[in-house]
Chains A and B, each alone.
Chain A
Amino acid sequence: MAQMNKKWVVLCSTAITAVYAAGYFTTETEAAMPPLPHHTQVSIPTNDISKNNNPSNVKSTYTNKHHISPKSLYKDGTYTGMGNNRRGSIEVSVTIKNDKITDVEVSHFAMHYSESDIAGLPSEVVQNQSEQVRNVSGATYSTRAFQDAVQNALSSAQNV
């Protein structure tokens, strides 16, 4: 086959660049828009007003007032956090009770990799009581996004 004329090469390249640019700017709002909300607190089951009517709860409050204990690190409740990078995003729900991570769930997985790559990480967080997990071989980006998501949730749960 004969070589393509250089004028055609330039013309086609220009046309393709124009189409690419049109696509790029058309999708700019999608790219700029975070797919999921950051720092969303789902529920905080703390001292319920109805429970305070119960004399035993009042007693408990009284006891707490006089008990010298360090301030808790986290507020009880379920918190969501998001981690994202160039390969997608992950949203997790972290449940905290008495300063302990009791449950971690991947609530939204939008990475360009398989979700099964990080299937073992939520239980690892509960076990380690920290967002620090082993790096899953071949799933570095998903692992990083997951860690960021847990860190994100924990920082919104922090008792300040």
Chain B
Amino acid sequence: MTIKQWSKSPKGYVAMVITAYLLIASIAEHDMAGMIHGIVAVGAAVAVDILCGLMRQRKRMLPDGAFITGLLIALVLSTATSWPVVAATSAIAIVSKHLLVYRKKPIFNPAAFGLLLSILIFGSGQSWWGAFGDLATWMIAFLLIGGYVITDRVNKFPQVFSFFGTFFVLLFLIGRFHLGDASDALRPPFINAALFFGFFMLTDLPTTPAKMKDQIVFGILVAFVGAAVYDLFGGLMYLFIGLLLANLYHVLKSRLSAKVTNRPVSNMQPVSKRG
């Protein structure tokens, strides 16, 4: 695959857009720590991915997926996070991609898995600085432009719309009926996090369904779990928990339908015709 071909692929699009975000956010914040984190996270992710590829004797060794995972992690983790934690988070994400698989595809979104475990294991702070969470509100326009381009390229509008639609309806209901404090989730930096998550993590092709109906159900499930966790516990894990549970649901559903499809024909026959 040539560079030109790769740049037009879904992974190429995502890689270019989030690299642009890394540069824009670093320049706007006048902080080069994010760039260093980007290099550390991508370096660790690519190294672990190549190592896992060699161990599994994989034919395709292009670590573009690991590059994206590393960048996503760097853009979410706070720039005050120590670099060993950044590297470890990337490594966990890539290991999960190779170990937790179903039909040669990762079960969980690697970046979300790594970031969730990073909070639980290292207590890492996540600022979503790469989603312009600490910058001017108008910079959300960058997220929307990049997000629509990516979503269109990977054909995930049903999933993204069902997620955002359900998530905002639930937050509206929480706010309207005073069931909790939904105000933070609808404002920066949390709205930046939700947009970045919806456009760049939820659209991951290997860990999400392809059919329109399945995409809609998937998006609704992520939003329901995410909003419930946010309302009950607050914190910053709500989006990751929603996505990882929906990933699990997607695999279980695939397994169930595969079992039904693979059922021997003899079992489907009337009792009278069985041996």
Q: Is A48 on the interface with B (CB-CB < 8 A)?
A: no
Contact residue among B122, B123, B187, B236 (Cβ-Cβ distance under 8 Å from A31): B187
Q: Is A68 on the interface with B (CB-CB < 8 A)?
A: no
Among A59-67, A69-77, A92-100, A134-142, the stretch that binds chain B is A134-142
Q: Is B63 on the interface with A (CB-CB < 8 A)?
A: no
Chain A contacts of B122 at CB under 8 A?
Answer: 138
B contacts with A: majority SS: loop
Q: Is A3 on the interface with B (CB-CB < 8 A)?
A: yes
- Bound-state CA distance A8–B162 (Å) is 13
Whole-angstrom distance between the Cβ of B190 and the nearest chain A Cβ: 8
Q: Is A107 on the interface with B (CB-CB < 8 A)?
A: no
Q: Is B54 on the interface with A (CB-CB < 8 A)?
A: no
Chain B contacts of A15 at CB under 8 A?
Answer: 165
A8, A13, A23 pick with most chain B CB within 10 angstroms = A23
Closest residue of chain A to B171 (Cβ to Cβ) is A23
- Bound-state CA distance A88–B187 (Å) is 12
Do the beta carbons of B85 and A27 come within 8 Å of each other? no
Contact residue among B123, B127, B168, B181 (Cβ-Cβ distance under 8 Å from A114): B123
Interface residues of A in 90-117 (CB under 8 A from B): 112-114, 116-117
Closest residue of chain B to A11 (Cβ to Cβ) is B161
Q: Is B211 on the interface with A (CB-CB < 8 A)?
A: yes
* Interface range, A side: 20 to 34
Do the beta carbons of A138 and B161 come within 8 Å of each other? no
- Bound-state CA distance A139–B169 (Å) is 31
Contact residue among A8, A26, A141 (Cβ-Cβ distance under 8 Å from B175): A26
Whole-angstrom distance between the Cβ of A132 and the nearest chain B Cβ: 17
Chain B contacts of A24 at CB under 8 A?
Answer: 186-187
Chain B contacts of A16 at CB under 8 A?
Answer: 161, 164-165, 168
**Interchain residue pairs with CB less than 8 A apart (15):** A1-B210, A23-B171, A23-B182, A31-B183, A31-B184, A112-B190, A112-B236, A113-B125, A113-B236, A137-B80, A137-B81, A137-B125, A138-B82, A140-B127, A142-B125
With A23-B175, A141-B125 given, can you name 10 additional A-B contacts, CB distance below 8 Å?
A12-B157, A15-B165, A16-B161, A16-B168, A30-B182, A112-B235, A138-B80, A138-B82, A139-B125, A141-B78
**B residues near A, CB below 8 A?**
78, 80-82, 85, 122-125, 127, 133-134, 152, 155, 157-158, 161, 164-165, 168-169, 171-172, 175-176, 181-184, 186-190, 210-212, 234-236
